[in-house]
Each structure stands twice: as C-alpha cells, then as structure tokens.
Amino acid sequence: MQNNAHAMDRLFEAVEEKGPVCLGLDTDISYIPENFAARFSTISEKLLSFNKAIIDATLDIAAAYKPQIAYYEACGLEGLRAFAQTLEYIRKKGAIAVSDVKRGDIAKTAGMYARAHFTGDFETDIITVNPYMGMDTLEPFFPYLRKGKGLFALIATSNKGAPDIEGIKTESGEKVYQLAGRMIQRAGSAFIGERGYSAIGGVVGCTDVQETKFIRQALPGVFFLIPGYGAQGGAAEDIGAYFSGGNGGIVNSSRGILLARKKPEFSGLNFDEAARAETLRMREELRCHIK
C-alpha cells in the first residue's frame, strides 16, 4: 500500500470503506496503563507497543492514523524513535498515516521538511502544514504530491485564540481564514485526484454549523481534516456539514479514543478493546449526521 496513488484518492476510499474516523495518536506516556507499560523497558517500546495495540484493534474502522509529533518530541530521541516506528507500522499495515507536524517555513528549509517527512525515518503519507508565512512555503512539497503524498494546511481552528489572526476581517470583508482557504484551494487545484479532491487538503475546526456550511461550499475539492471532536468539545451535528456526499473529510479524535477505557460504559474492557468500542461509537454518531 506504500504506493504512488493520489493521497486523497486513497483517503477518500478509506473513508468509503472504513468510515470517517481519524485516530489521533497523541500518545502521552501517562495514557499507557501501568500494567501494560511495565512489560517494556524503554519509553520507545512502551509508546510503540501501545500504539500498535490501538492500531491493531481499529484497523478496519479508522480511515487514518494521525500521530501528533509533539507528544513524541517531548520524550526526546527515544520518543522520536517511537514516532518513526509507529509510522512504519501504520504504513506496513496498509493504513494511511497523517503526521501532525504543522511545519511552515521558507524555500530550502521547507524542502528539508519535505525530505524529513516524505522520505527516510519519518516517512508518512500526509503532513499538516502552517501557511502563516505564505503560499510559497507549500511549493517545496509539490514534487512529492505527484508521488502520492499529501498536505493538510491549517485553515480554521476552533481554539479560543483562533479569532486573534484567523478570525480577523480583512479590508475586503472576508476573514483571514477564508482568504487562507481560498489560497490553499487555488494552490491545490493543480493536484486534483480521480475522486475530485486535491492532494492539498485543509484543517478546519468545529465551528458553528453556518460557518461550516460556508467553508464547505466555498472550498469544493478541498478534503478536510476536522480536529476537535470529543475531548475538545466538537459536536457531530456541526461536523456533518463539512461532508459532501458522505465523504470529503476525516474527523479526528485522540484522547477520547486512547483513554476510552476510563469511560463508565467501557469499564472492564482492555484499553485497546475500549478504543475499538469508542471508535465504533464515534463512527455511528458521525454517520447519523453525515449525508
């Protein structure tokens, strides 16, 4: 499955087959049950083994896996070894890996990031990028998009500081995130796959349903990565409006799944069984709101 097919075609097909859940591997070492962690001696082994168990339990019901690099970086070189091995495992299993790294830099530096995450130890399928410095920061990634790699560029997030910059109205009356969305769509129009989506997708948070509808209509062809479900408070009703014909987006949950064993309804289950149960529950809830 480590093929050269268009990244968003593969993601589209994964959503058709497995549903729209993106499983966020924001694996804080404190999330790992003590009795499980005790079986391994290094931090790297603990993180990797936990991730493998989660992946094995959800392979048929998760569209993609999204390790957030910050959690691994926080454990230093040992942590990054687990990050690399987790990516290798996801891809070996034929699943799609989205590395949440939110890189954004210019020219040669961006080229180095492309090399870092699309080849070698940290090879992944799709990475998240930050467009603040401008659209030229995306260009060094373009040659890789033609070889089956993809990007999710930050457009709109739903954290409390999002109005500071993303939400500011420009002179022309649109908000900064709308402008960013348009520019990302334009850049992506050269990379449309067979399913109608560009290899350059966008990160769009759970906002109110009106704004969500606006974003979906304004940005056809942009596949969405939607964070903020569950632990961060995003609601399935609002998320539904980001989808078109039941596809075109993946919805991320991290803590909600990794720590599902702590929910009363899953008590008695192992962490991986609880993760599967929560992924199934989330998928059903989303399907009720996605037309």
Q: H or E element: which one contains 143?
A: helix 142-145
For position 116 contacting a second copy by CB under 8 A, the verdict is: yes
Site for a second copy (CB under 8 A): which residue of 6, 117, 149, 261?
Answer: 117
Smallest distance, Å, CB 287 to a second copy?
27
- Token pair of 58, please? 């959800």
Distance CA 287, CA 239 (A): 10
Scanning residues 207 to 266, which ones bind a second copy (CB under 8 A)?
none
Q: Is 171 a binder of a second copy (CB under 8 A)?
A: yes
- What would the x/- binding string for a second copy be over residues 137 to 156, using CB under 8 A? x----------------x--
Q: What is the three-class DSSP state of 125?
A: coil
Q: What gap in Å lies between CA 291 and CA 277, rounded to an integer?
A: 23
The span from the CA of 94 to the CA of 59, in Å, is: 9
What does the per-residue mask of binding to a second copy show for 47-76, with x meaning CB under 8 A?
A: ---------------------x-xx-xxxx
81 and 109 Cβ atoms separated by less than 8 Å: no
**Collapsing DSSP states into helix, strand and coil, what is residue 193?**
coil
How many residues bind to a second copy according to rule CB under 8 A?
57
Eight-state DSSP code of residue 61: T
- Residue 102: DSSP 8-state: E
Q: How many Å is the Cα radius of gyration of the chain?
A: 18
Specify the residue, 113 or 191, whose C-beta has the smaller distance to a second copy: 113
In the complex, minimum distance from the CB of residue 185 to a second copy, in angstroms, rounded to a whole number: 13
**Least distance in angstroms from the C-beta of 77 to a second copy:** 5
Distance CA 141, CA 146 (A): 9
| Nearer to a second copy (CB atom), residue 13 or residue 45 | 45
Smallest distance from a second copy to CB 133, Å: 5
- Per CB under 8 A, 157 contacts a second copy: yes
Residue 102 appears among annotated catalytic residues: yes
Q: Using CA atoms, how far apart are residues 12 and 126, in angstroms rounded to an integer?
A: 13
Give the SS3 label for residue 283: helix
Active site residue ranges: 102
Chain residues binding a second copy by CB under 8 A are: 26, 28, 68, 70-71, 73-77, 80-81, 84, 102-110, 112-113, 115-117, 120-122, 130-137, 154, 157, 159-166, 168-171, 173, 176, 179-180, 183
